[in-house]
Amino acid sequence: MATPSKKTSTPSPQPSKRALPRDPSSEVPSKRKNSAPQLPLLQSSGPFVEGSIVRISMENFLTYDICEVSPGPHLNMIVGANGTGKSSIVCAICLGLAGKPAFMGRADKVGFFVKRGCSRGMVEIELFRASGNLVITREIDVAKNQSFWFINKKSTTQKIVEEKVAALNIQVGNLCQFLPQDKVGEFAKLSKIELLEATEKSIGPPEMHKYHCELKNFREKEKQLETSCKEKTEYLQKMVQRNERYKQDVERFYERKRHLDLIEMLEAKRPWVEYENVRQEYEEVKLVRDRVKEEVRKLKEGQIPITRRIEEMENERHNLEARIKEKATDIKEASQKCKQKQDVIERKDKHIEELQQALIVKQNEELDRQRRIGNTRKMIEDLQNELKTTENCENLQPQIDAITNDLRRIQDEKALCEGEIIDKRRERETLEKEKKSVDDHIVRFDNLMNQKEDKLRQRFRDTYDAVLWLRNNRDKFKQRVCEPIMLTINMKDNKNAKYIENHIPSNDLRAFVFESQEDMEVFLKEVRDNKKLRVNAVIAPKSSYADKAPSRSLNELKQYGFFSYLRELFDAPDPVMSYLCCQYHIHEVPVGTEKTRERIERVIQETRLKQIYTAEEKYVVKTSFYSNKVISSNTSLKVAQFLTVTVDLEQRRHLEEQLKEIHRKLQTVDSGLIALRETSKHLEHKDNELRQKKKELLERKTKKRQLEQKISSKLGSLKLMEQDTCNLEEEERKASTKIKEINVQKAKLVTELTNLIKICTSLHIQKVDLILQNTTVISEKNKLESDYMAASSQLRLTEVCLLKRPRL
């Protein structure tokens, strides 16, 4: 017999893995390198059939160093306790028969199936065949992740091996024929159709599944043909109904054709009847036409005298209109000359007005000059009086020197104050940069916390909504309430998160922790009853277990490879830590390394620990109630999902304290800046006052010189104004002479304008006389035209009657 290397366990009667689906009537014990409980021996109930497994040999494969299994002819199931190597045999069958690693639902590379620490592994399977057993060997190279194939000790390729295995109707990818433990879930999800097809491939002849597929295709074609036949039958019925409707249309068409033929015949006879009627009317109309023509001739002869008289009147009218136009032209020329004379008279009036206005302006300028001379003389007198008063003032230089010294001292104090303000600003900028850096660090910590909350929201939305409600309603609780455990736990090293997530169930990881039963009832009533959220809640023990010492010192366990207890792998609030220690004994569960797994049998026997974690596995050790034997089970650790985000809370608290200290320093600096600015403002105000005093003293000192300059300037201005005199009497005499000359010219122009107006009046009278004559002629002409129009109307009526008669 052979045993799993470095691994022992107590056999258990429960089934663990499934292999080839054959009669479960026999199983042959395996040969093991080390001593261990044997598998039960079952006798063969019949001969081997084609493709039956005769022998399985493994070397450096998973848990085995060397192992050979010789099953009976009806191998169907492998049974054994946990850890006895059932999965290794199933994996060997799959890989040895050219199966892919994915068929087992474990590792995706074949190199992972070689025992840890070995560079090569080998699986050899002997299959029964009537013509001679088939021995398939697969050697696995870990470094290259490659396989080397042999059939009956001769090198070959994987494709040939697959063909040989398929020829024996072995299908390791078919879950109905080969069902690894990790694929049981997929097998349960298969539909009835998929189970039927997999069963056909497994137990039926090779052509059965092909025939089944053809049968399904023929059924689809049958359905299509039935549908096509039904559609064509319906189309035929529609065409028959349409043909019946068309018969009535044909009958109506032939009846219409008979009526059209009758109409055509009657249309051919109608012209002869019409011709006879028209001929009789023609004879009657011919007589009437001759009588009307005679009447028309007489009317035209009677209109000739009237036409001549109208033409004479028209000629006379044209002559009168021509004479009227000539008079209008003469009137226009006379009016134009009157207009020109009026314009000249207006220009003369305007010239007189301009002369009078210029005289007024000169009179105003003279009055203004006299006023300005008086004002200037008064200003000179006031400046001379002020100059006399200024000459009596004392010497102001000592006061100016004293103020200058005070200004110099204040400037020094201001410069010193400005320097201190600049230093304070620089210190504040430095503190602001430190504050921003600390804020950024805190934001990064908060972002990590947000990642944990996002995972909670994605996986457990109700719990996340409850967390938001709790944060807004903490005032409703009397004692401390902790958010879900997965949010409050902070791993010291995220590599160890897998131990905590495998140890604490998911329901408790998302549970809220309360210190008071009353608070928990209030929370569940609001969240679970009112809001209908699915949440979990637990109560921490009244007496704290958070600091409870383990029953064994960690130093005693370090020899087995243990490096910590679960409690020391993370930080959590006291109620959460107390609950986990009380409920899951995290202070008693040690965590080991690969060294622990290698010595697992010794660890179980010597330490009597109930739960153990190695690098990748969890071991649970129990003692049988009946036989008092130690029973151990191991499971692979699942990958951590929630606790991989690590937030160093101690560092975050340190950053918050640092931020408070920076805020305190900023307040101190701001206070100093305010005081310095007040001092600077006071110095500025004092500086302005001294400068104003100095300015006033300097103005007093320079005032005498300024007054002398102003007096000199005003005297010069007064001299110029007195020289700029104007003779108003001479100007008035000149203006009066020019106005008289212009009035003489205006009198001559008025006389000429009066003569032109008389001529224009005479022309208007002549024009009116011609217009009256023309009106008389037009009246007579209109009367003649009216008589002519009456006769013409009678003539047109006669011609119309003539034209209305039918043409001959």
How does pLDDT run across 459-482, given as a tens digit for each residue? Answer: 899 999 999 999 899 999 999 999
Strands (E), 239-287: none
The answer to whether residues 105 and 178 touch, using CB atoms and an 8 Å cutoff, is no
What is the residue whose two structure tokens read 């305190």? 664
Last residue in a domain, options 548, 564, 596: 596
Asked if residue 459 is part of any domain, the answer here is: no
Asked if residue 705 is part of any domain, the answer here is: no
- DSSP, collapsed to helix, strand or coil, labels residue 68 as strand
Asked if residue 556 is part of any domain, the answer here is: yes
Above pLDDT 70, what percent of the chain?
A: 84
Instruction: Look at residue 580 and tell me whether its pLDDT is greater than 90.
Output: yes
What is the residue whose two structure tokens read 């008589």? 787
CA distance 23 to 125: 20
Nearest to 334 by CA among 772, 779, 754: 754
- DSSP strand pairing (481-482 vs 511-514): antiparallel
CA distance 718 to 646: 98
Token pair of 271, please?
């012209």
Between 597 and 274, name the one with better pLDDT: 597
CA distance 469 to 476: 11
Last residue in a domain, options 532, 565, 596: 596
Instruction: Look at residue 203 and tell me whether its pLDDT is greater than 90.
Output: no
CA distance 647 to 444: 9
The model's pLDDT over 732-779, given as tens digits with 9 standing for 90+, comes to 788 888 888 888 888 888 888 888 888 888 888 887 888 888 888 888
Asked if residue 645 is part of any domain, the answer here is: no
Instruction: Look at residue 244 and tell me whether its pLDDT is greater than 90.
Output: no
Of 281-285, 380-384, 672-676, give the range with the top mean pLDDT: 672-676
Residue 690's pLDDT is what?
83
Instruction: Look at residue 323 and tell me whether its pLDDT is greater than 60.
Output: yes
Residue 19's pLDDT is what?
35
Residue 430's pLDDT is what?
85
**What distance, in Å, lies between the first and last C-alpha atoms of the chain?**
145
| pLDDT band at residue 530 using 50, 70 and 90 as cut-offs | very high
Token pair of 443, please?
């934001």
| pLDDT band at residue 206 using 50, 70 and 90 as cut-offs | low
Asked if residue 173 is part of any domain, the answer here is: yes
Above pLDDT 90, what percent of the chain?
A: 14
Q: What angle do CA 170, 172, 178 make, to 5 degrees?
A: 100
Residue 462's pLDDT is what?
93
Q: CATH number for the domain including 85?
A: 3.40.50.300
Residue 541's pLDDT is what?
92
CA distance 536 to 513: 9
The model's pLDDT over 606-620, given as tens digits with 9 standing for 90+, comes to 888 889 999 899 999
Instruction: Look at residue 419 and tell me whether its pLDDT is greater than 90.
Output: no
Between 275 and 17, name the one with better pLDDT: 275
| pLDDT band at residue 710 using 50, 70 and 90 as cut-offs | confident
Question: Position 249: which residue type?
Answer: D
Mean pLDDT, residues 216-242 taken together? 87
- DSSP, collapsed to helix, strand or coil, labels residue 424 as helix
Outline where 479-599 has alpha helix (H): 485-488, 497-503, 506-509, 517-524, 554-557, 574-584, 594-598
Asked if residue 26 is part of any domain, the answer here is: yes
Instruction: Look at residue 293 and tell me whether its pLDDT is greater than 70.
Output: yes
Instruction: Look at residue 208 and tell me whether its pLDDT is greater than 50.
Output: yes
Asked if residue 290 is part of any domain, the answer here is: no
Residue 714's pLDDT is what?
76
The model's pLDDT over 89-130, given as tens digits with 9 standing for 90+, comes to 888 888 888 887 766 766 677 777 888 888 889 999 999 888
Between 209 and 521, name the one with better pLDDT: 521
Domain region containing 153: 15-204
Of 155-159, 189-193, 269-273, give the range with the top mean pLDDT: 155-159
With 0-12 CB in 10 A as exposed, 13-18 as middle and 19+ as buried, what is 496?
buried
Nearest to 600 by CA among 6, 111, 57: 6
Between 288 and 525, name the one with better pLDDT: 525
Instruction: Look at residue 204 and tell me whether its pLDDT is greater than 70.
Output: no
Last residue in a domain, options 596, 614, 630: 596
φ, ψ dihedrals at 134, nearest 5°: -105, 120
Nearest to 382 by CA among 371, 392, 390: 390
DSSP state letter for 515:
S
Residue 355's pLDDT is what?
81
Instruction: Please give the tally of structural domains in the chain.
Output: 2
Dihedral sign (CA 427, 433, 436, 438): negative
Cα separation values, 348 from 139, 338, 344, 732, 768, Å:
137, 16, 6, 19, 36
The model's pLDDT over 348-358, given as tens digits with 9 standing for 90+, comes to 888 888 888 88
CA distance 82 to 104: 18
HSE (side-chain half, CA atoms, 13 Å) at 379:
17
Residue 119's pLDDT is what?
85
The model's pLDDT over 486-518, given as tens digits with 9 standing for 90+, comes to 888 888 888 898 999 999 998 999 999 999 999
φ, ψ dihedrals at 541, nearest 5°: -60, 150
Nearest to 116 by CA among 65, 179, 165: 65
| pLDDT band at residue 29 using 50, 70 and 90 as cut-offs | very low
The model's pLDDT over 625-677, given as tens digits with 9 standing for 90+, comes to 776 788 888 899 888 888 877 665 566 667 778 888 888 888 888 888 888 88
- For 146, residues 6+ apart whose C-beta sits below 8 A from its C-beta are 140
Beta bridge partners of residue 139, listed in sequence order? 122, 148
Determine if the pTM surpasses 0.85: no
Token pair of 224, please?
């299509």
Average predicted confidence (pLDDT) for the chain: 79
| pLDDT band at residue 418 using 50, 70 and 90 as cut-offs | confident
Between 445 and 167, name the one with better pLDDT: 167
Residue 188's pLDDT is what?
62
Asked if residue 480 is part of any domain, the answer here is: no
